[in-house]
């Protein structure tokens, strides 16, 4: 719901919905990719390196930025 009490829609040429869909899809793909990599490294190879920890930290930051972007979209960005 937007700041003025409206819902996110396609009305009046708003780009909010495509941006929100793009953020969600890309975040989903990155979650899958990093989860699969960590599974392979931790379970199959049994060696998690420093680069894996950096990727996990970057994923946490990406999730935070996605949440922030979603909140900004609900207040009218796009």
pLDDT per residue over 54-65, tens digit each? Answer: 999 999 999 999
| pTM for the model | 0.79
Contact 8, 16 (CB under 8 A): yes
Total count of domains within the chain: 1
Which residue has better confidence, 75 or 26?
A: 26
Are 77 and 49 in contact by the 8 Å Cβ rule? The answer is no
- The reply to whether 5 falls in a domain is no
The single-letter DSSP state of residue 7 is P
Q: How far apart are CA 50 and CA 73, in angstroms?
A: 35
Burial class, 78, CB count within 10 angstroms (exposed 0-12 / middle 13-18 / buried 19+): middle
- Quote the Cα angle for 35-38-42, to 5°: 140
Q: Is residue 3 part of a domain?
A: no
The per-residue pLDDT for range 3-39, each reduced to its tens digit, is: 555 566 666 677 888 899 999 999 999 999 999 999 9
Confirm whether 1 is domain-assigned: no
Determine the structural domain holding residue 28 and report its residue range. Answer: 11-74
């Amino acid at each position: 719901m937007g700041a003025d009490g409206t819902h996110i829609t396609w009305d009046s040429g708003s780009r909010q919905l495509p941006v929100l869909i793009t953020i969600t899809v890309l975040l989903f793909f990155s979650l899958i990719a990093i989860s699969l990599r960590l599974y392979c490294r931790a379970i199959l190879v049994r060696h998690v390196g420093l680069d894996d920890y950096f990727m996990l930290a970057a994923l946490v930051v990406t999730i935070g930025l996605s949440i922030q972007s979603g909140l900004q979209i609900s207040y009218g960005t796009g």
